[in-house]
Chain A
Amino acid sequence: MSDSLTMDAIQQWLHRFALEITTQADWLTELDSAIGDADHGTNMVRGTGAVVAKLNGGATGTVQELLKAVGMTLVSSVGGASGSLYGTFFLEMGRNSPSGEQLNASELEKALRAGVDGVVARGHAAVGDKTMVDALEPAVTALYQSLANGLRLHDSVAAAAAAATTGRDSTEPLVARKGRASYLGERSAGHIDPGAASSAILVAALAATVGEGTAQ
């Protein structure tokens, strides 16, 4: 049981994501005022808050439907590049999930991979451009490798979360090549990318949810 993600667990993941975003909103906005336009925390709080409201309103059905609803909610409530990119992430996850009420480890990995590929396709960013891809890409790679090495799901998502954190921190010395931070040129170096920071929170929330489920 612990090696799959139920509908309940997916919802817990999203609740935890929203909670962590709220807790760290000031930090996200601070990162964004250094190299962007000082609204990433505010926008993500609004978007994840809308997701929580949607879930509390009784989002049931299949994993596909749940993830699609989350994606559409983020698209319509976050705004900016983050809204369409986070929205695309969940929409693509949903499109690439089986029609059922849970995801096993390999299905979760495939869905997350599709989500990240969707973000790359929509935003045309690659690793090293100082964007959310710098956290997400190593996370799904670590998840895939850990599962391939025979690790259990909770250890694999923990490895993914660690990779996301490392990826987030790797953005600090980088010069941004995409998004609003890129206008700063060399002056964008020396700051963590806010999108990579919120993406690391997303993966950490998944690891915490799966870890908690295992402990019970």
Chain B
Amino acid sequence: MNKLINSPQTLLADALRGVAAAHRELSVDFENRIVFSTASREGRVALVSGGGSGHEPLHSGFVGAGMLDAACAGEIFTSPTPDQILAAATRVDTGSGVLFVVKNYTGDLLNFEMAAELAQEQGIEIATVIVADDVAVEDSTWTAGRRGVGTTLILEKVAGAAAARGWSLEKVHGLAERVAHAGRSMGAALTSCTVPAVGRPSFDLPEGEMELGVGIHGEPGRKRVPVMSAAELSNALVESITTDYNFGGKPVIALLTGLGGTPLIELYAMFAEVSDRLNERNIKVARSLVGDYVTSLDMAGCSLTLVAADDEILDLWDAPVNTPALRWKD
């Protein structure tokens, strides 16, 4: 498999150098592998997230004014370590406390939990929100629970706006929990992905087949099915999500993310169908994002996220944001 890398061992470090070179408004701690925002934090709550690398732009692409204060980058598909997360929390805390945004994977939970214990010992107030929005994980009692995927970025945007408005840690945390509970995702893969250090696809997927309910780490999905058309797949994704969650007439923020190896033209073809499927169900798309936002290296496929919104969430969503991957003004 041909890759644009120097070596698998230096890929993360090289990419962080690239982030620093491309985004002078950010500050990169190379030793601890943390991307920091240089936006003012004076006395407000700070947001720290992070996770395994390979999902770019998540999380470093969402660092900046109105969103994350710091993103800790782990090795590819491997969570960051407690000392990294602690270093991030220590630097961004202004005394108002820090919200950890954690995707529900065993490694992330354990490392953020250890980091929270260490930070609290140092007198830093920590609150943690866990995103577990992947409806593909059906049996959440007998598994590690639902994975955290696309809702993460919507939550980071909304909670980041609330922190920027000076909300207390308790209020930002409450809002983040609300968004986490109102979001659902479902994805499908047309190919596996290739972890650079391994050099071959993580699973075999024959021509003409797809994995429905795939995760974002090259782990196979729940079901292997013949490849569907955009119309069929959009129906399957929307059906899985709306069967799981009753949107009850609320408008949604919709995110259709590519997984890293799907052209934008296919994503737009998919989104046209998704939009029709939602219209048929009387679910109004209030805001939408289409593109590569939560990826899985070079995996072909997509993941749909719907978050039930209200006026407050939409107002926070519309607030200005200035990060490498999400940027708008009032």
Contacts and interface: CB of A to CB of B under 8 A. Distances in A.
Contacts of A177: 142-143
Contact of B78 (A43, A182, A184, A185): A43
Interface in A5-40: 29, 33, 35-39
Contacts of B81: 75-79, 83-84
Given A84-B110, A84-B111, A179-B106, A39 B144 contact: no
B219 A29 contact: no
A79 B222 contact: no
Interface in B118-142: 136-139, 142
Interface stretch (B16-24, B36-44, B151-159, B195-203): B195-203
Interface string A28-56: 01000101111100110010000000000
Main secondary structure of the interface of A (DSSP, over half): helix
Contact of A33 (B80, B144, B202): B202
A46 B83 CA distance: 16
Contacts of B84: 76
Given A75-B114, A187-B220, A84 B107 contact: yes
B148 interface: no
A123 interface: yes
Contacts of B215: 180, 183
Interface string B206-248: 0000000001011110100000000000000000000000000
A82 interface: yes
A178 interface: yes
Nearest to B136: A183
A212 B60 CA distance: 49
A84 B115 CA distance: 10
A83 to B, nearest CB: 6
A39 B76 contact: yes
B106 A39 contact: no
B107 A178 contact: no
B1 to A, nearest CB: 13
Counting contact residues on chain B (CB < 8 A from A), the size range is 35 or more
Counting contact residues on chain A (CB < 8 A from B), the size range is 20 to 34
Nearest to A40: B78
B105 interface: yes
B75 A37 contact: no
B183 interface: no
B144 A183 contact: yes
B173 interface: no
B110 A39 contact: no
Contacts of A163: none
Most central of B80, B110, B113, B220 by chain A CB within 10 Å? B110
B82 A76 contact: yes
Contacts of B107: 79-84
Contacts of A33: 198, 202-203, 218
A37 B202 contact: yes
Given A37-B195, A38-B198, A38-B202, A183 B79 contact: no
A160 interface: no
Contacts of B202: 33, 37-38
17 contacts: A36-B219, A37-B217, A38-B77, A42-B75, A42-B198, A77-B81, A79-B74, A79-B75, A80-B75, A81-B105, A84-B82, A84-B111, A84-B113, A177-B142, A180-B105, A180-B217, A184-B220
Given A35-B219, A76-B84, A180-B105, 5 more contacts: A39-B77, A81-B79, A82-B107, A85-B110, A183-B215
